Chains A and B, each alone.
Chain A
Amino acid sequence: MSRAVLCSLRDAIAANVHDGDTIALEGFTHLIPHAAAQEIIRQGRRDLTLVRMTPDMAYDWLIGAGCARKLVFSWGGNPGVGSLQRFRDAVEKGWPHPLEIEEHSHAGMAARYTAGASGLPFGVLRGYVGTDLIEHTKQSISMITCPFTGEELCAVPALNPDLTIIHAQRADRAGNVQICGLIGIQKEAVLAARRSIVTVEEIVDTLLPTPGAVVLPSWVVSAVCHVPGGAHPSFAMGFSDRDNAFYKAWDAISADRNAFTAWIDKHILGTADFAEYRLSVKSD
């Protein structure tokens, strides 16, 4: 049994993200690990298979910056705003290079992570029936017959990423992690993965029991990094609100390849870490 290492985000990404890896940065609107996505771009990782139910701005950055070879997902948009422009450009026009897609529904992705976390080869659901997803995602959607009732059900293979990255409110010094509020799919995504990194708002001496909170013990986490505000423009309940204005502003920046590249060059590649990035975008 190994315990989580407390280290810098730079060191955690360097040790755990390799070219060609399958990685999931999860967060369902809440607690999206944006700081970690930036560090992956800074370190120039390539050919990644990105997994996420709801790829939004963090994956738009990674795709537009040329880090991704493939995307496994169920909804790729800018919530409440519209399209995810870099994702669209990659799928429609192959910029900066073609992006392979493996497309599911939310319920299917949830079943895949749950199977992965449970050590099962596949998940089962009443899903996809009657949709064109069955035909276009042949490699990972298959109909099966229930051995007990004869009912036709849908099977989806387990997701077991090489690495899952999430953001959480806090961890203690031993690396035990506490997640509060919208808990999304984070627990399943971490337990399904071979390695995991958790960025946190704060590191405390003792985790206080909190109703509805999820605790991930230190021994299922690879690394814990103290990155206050590391979910921005997503949010961490109890620490910040969703920066809806930032999501709205992203639409115009991401709509144009040159504007996007200039933004990435200035704010991500031109900064040493997340703290510098925050100052950089604030000055705009």
Chain B
Amino acid sequence: MIVNAARAMSNDTVCFVGIGLPSTAANLARRLHAPDCVLIYESGCIGSKPTTLPLSIGDGELAETSDAVVSVPEIFAYWLQAGRVNVGFLGGAQIDIFGNINSTVIGPYDKPKTRLPGAGGAPEIAASAGAVYVIMRQSKRAFVPKVDFRSSMGFGDGPGHRERLGLRGGGVQLVVTDLGIMRPDPTTCELVMTALHPGVTREQAIEATGWALTFSADCTETEAPTDYEMATLNALRAA
């Protein structure tokens, strides 16, 4: 999953990175094929090159290895809102068929079953980044027909919704899971499975999805992680 997420990044990527799996994937990409990609963390770090994986978005390691450290208002206004970020890399507790993400609450807002940390930087990342990549483990609880709370806008209610609201970013373009890869159908904006990891069956993917999952006509198999990719990932985690 992490290797496949890392592969989606290129040397030209300016990536606004969420903590956790997105940060692991982005830092792996920087050690593999994308050494010049720019990692931006919402704590104000631009061009971070951490030698170890940070626990928080504001570990000292991120600041000390950055090209620039700016204030929080500046990172959101000058860098994200102004359109200087081409990939936003997010996780979440729930995602739905239109790529909307919930990181706020499970159950009703006023009577929550589980209160989650909240939206943080995600709403504006999802609105303004050129594209949004999501990395999440696939299960019926997480991949739901409709999110309990829309913390971040994917394609909203469907085709044309982003345009009607005047959102400038491209929305969710890629969802990497432990079972495979989903992308939005260009016509319906619905997430469809476009690749499965080696050994994963269509039945397994359907079983782990809360909506009637479909597969693209050219649904393929992802390339298994190479020994070098896995060794680099393990070294990164051990650092």
Contacts and interface: CB of A to CB of B under 8 A. Distances in A.
A79 B127 CA distance: 23
B199 interface: no
Contacts of A87: 115
B153 A130 contact: yes
B118 A73 contact: yes
A136 B109 contact: yes
Interface residues of A, number: 55
Given A131-B119, A182-B44, A110 B72 contact: yes
Given A91-B115, A126-B128, A131-B152, A28 B69 contact: no
B44 A127 contact: no
A131 to B, nearest CB: 5
A184 B167 CA distance: 27
A247 interface: yes
B131 to A, nearest CB: 16
Given A30-B63, A128-B123, A242-B60, 13 more contacts: A75-B117, A75-B118, A81-B55, A92-B114, A125-B81, A126-B81, A130-B156, A136-B109, A183-B69, A184-B44, A242-B58, A244-B56, A244-B59
B147 to A, nearest CB: 9
Contact of A74 (B119, B127, B165): B119
B42 interface: yes
A107 B43 contact: no
A3 to B, nearest CB: 25
Contacts of A185: 71-73
Contacts of B150: 130-132
B117 A83 contact: yes
Contacts of A247: 55-56
Contacts of A218: none
A28 B72 contact: yes
Contacts of B33: none
Nearest to B19: A80
Interface string B179-214: 000000000000000000000000000000000000
Nearest to A234: B58
Nearest to B110: A136
22 contacts: A75-B118, A75-B121, A77-B117, A105-B122, A106-B124, A107-B121, A127-B124, A129-B166, A129-B167, A131-B150, A132-B104, A133-B104, A152-B166, A184-B71, A185-B72, A187-B71, A188-B71, A237-B63, A237-B64, A242-B58, A244-B55, A247-B56
Contact of B60 (A76, A107, A187, A237): A237
Interface string B152-184: 110010000110011110000000000000000
B123 A113 contact: no
Interface of B: 19-20, 42-45, 54-60, 63-64, 69-73, 76-77, 80-81, 104, 109, 112-124, 127-128, 149-153, 156, 161-162, 165-168
Contacts of A20: none
Nearest to B44: A182
B170 to A, nearest CB: 14
A223 interface: no
A106 B167 contact: no
Contacts of B162: 130
A65 to B, nearest CB: 19
Contacts of B112: 91-92
A132 B151 CA distance: 6
A79 B151 contact: no
A84 interface: yes
A74 B57 CA distance: 15
A222 interface: no
Q: Which 9 A-B pairs have the closest CB atoms?
A: A29-B58, A77-B117, A130-B153, A79-B56, A75-B120, A80-B55, A107-B76, A110-B73, A107-B124
A151 interface: yes
B172 to A, nearest CB: 12
B18 to A, nearest CB: 11
B64 to A, nearest CB: 8
A30 B54 CA distance: 13
B72 A131 contact: no
Contacts of A81: 55
A104 B119 CA distance: 8
